[in-house]
Amino acid sequence: MTQDELKKAVGWAALKYVKPGTIVGVGTGSTAAHFIDALATMKGQIEGAVSSSEVSTQKLKALGIPVFDCNEVDSLDIYVDGADEVDHHMNMIKGGGAALTREKIVAAIAKTFVCIVDQSKQVDVLGNFPLPVEVIPMARSYVARELVKLGGMPEYRQNVVTDNGNVILDVHNLAIVNPQELEQKINQIAGVVTVGLFAHRGADIVLMGTSEGVKTIEA
C-alpha cells in the first residue's frame, strides 16, 4: 500500500469514534483530509465540527459540514488529527502543516485525542522530524538564539505565515528524551506562541496504518 492509502485507511477508521449528535474536533493535513471525507458521510448525524485551520474549515464547509467557532463550544468528545511523529508514550510532534497552535487549542478542549498516522510516523525518540515552533514575527531572532542554547538548530520556514499571522521556526538536531520538560521550556521563551510538542496533552488513541491493517494503540 502507498503512504496515502495508509493515511486514507486510518482517516476512515477514525469514523467509528464519532458519536451522533456531537461536535467533532477536526485536525489539519493530508491524513485529516481523509478523515473529513469520511466525516462527510455522517454529516446528517453530527452537529458539526470545530476546525484547527482555515484549510480544514474550507474543506468541511465545501462538504456541507457546519463549522463552529471554538469559543462557542465548551468541550468536544473527540479531536481527530494526524502527526509528524508519535512515540511509544503517545507524545507527538505536530505542526508540519503550520497549524500547531489551533491544533493545540482544539485538542485542549477535547476529551479524547485520536491520532491518525501511517506507520512511518512512529518513532522511538521524537526529534528526527524538525520541531515546529510558532513565533511572533518580531521575536524570531531572539527565539532562534534561545533554541540554539537548548541544543537545537532552528531554521526559519520561508514564505509561511500561520493562520494567526505568525512565523515558524523548524528546530533540527533535537533528540527529545524528555518531551514534557522540553515543551515547558520552549513555551516559556518570550515570543513563542506554541511549540509543536504535544506531550502535556498527548494522544489517547493512536490509529496506525500498517501494511497488515489499522492498528489501535490506547494510552
Nearer to ligand 5RP, 100 or 199 (CB): 100
Nearer to ligand 5RP, 103 or 146 (CB): 103
Q: For the segment 90-109, give every residue that binds ligand 5RP (CB under 6 A).
A: 94-100, 103
Distance of CA 38 to the CA centre of its chain: 18
Catalytic choice (85, 103, 134, 146): 103
Nearer to ligand 5RP, 15 or 142 (CB): 15
Considering the rule CB under 6 A, would residue 81 count as an interface residue with ligand 5RP? yes
Nearer to ligand 5RP, 1 or 148 (CB): 1
Nearer to ligand 5RP, 95 or 154 (CB): 95
Residue window 27-66: x/- pattern of binding to ligand 5RP, with contact defined by CB under 6 A: xxxxxx----------------------------------
Residue 20 CB, nearest approach to ligand 5RP (Å): 25
Pairing mode, if any, of strands 48-51 and 23-26?
parallel
Q: For the segment 154-213, give every residue that binds ligand 5RP (CB under 6 A).
A: none
Check if 103 is active-site.
yes
SS3 of the chain: the string is: CCHHHHHHHHHHHHHHHCCCCCEEEECCCHHHHHHHHHHHCCCCCCCEEEECCHHHHHHHHHCCCCEECHHHCCCEEEEEECCCEECCCCCEECCCCCCHHHHHHHHHCEEEEEEEEEHHHECCCECCCCEEEEECHHHHHHHHHHHHHCCCEEEECCCCCCCCCCEEEEEECCCECCHHHHHHHHHCCCCEEEECEECCCCCCEEEEEECCEEEEEEC
Q: How far is CA 209 from CA 29, 65, 187, in A?
A: 16, 26, 31
Residue window 3-32: x/- pattern of binding to ligand 5RP, with contact defined by CB under 6 A: ------------------------xxxxxx
Residue 85 CB, nearest approach to ligand 5RP (Å): 9
Binding site annotation covers 202?
Answer: no
Considering the rule CB under 6 A, would residue 130 count as an interface residue with ligand 5RP? no
For 22-38, letters b (16+ CB in 10 Å) and e give: ebbbbbbbebbbbbbeb
Binding site annotation covers 82?
Answer: yes
Catalytic positions: 103
State the binding site for substrate: 28-31, 81-84, 94-97, 121
- Site residues (CB under 6 A) for ligand 5RP? 27-32, 81-84, 94-100, 103
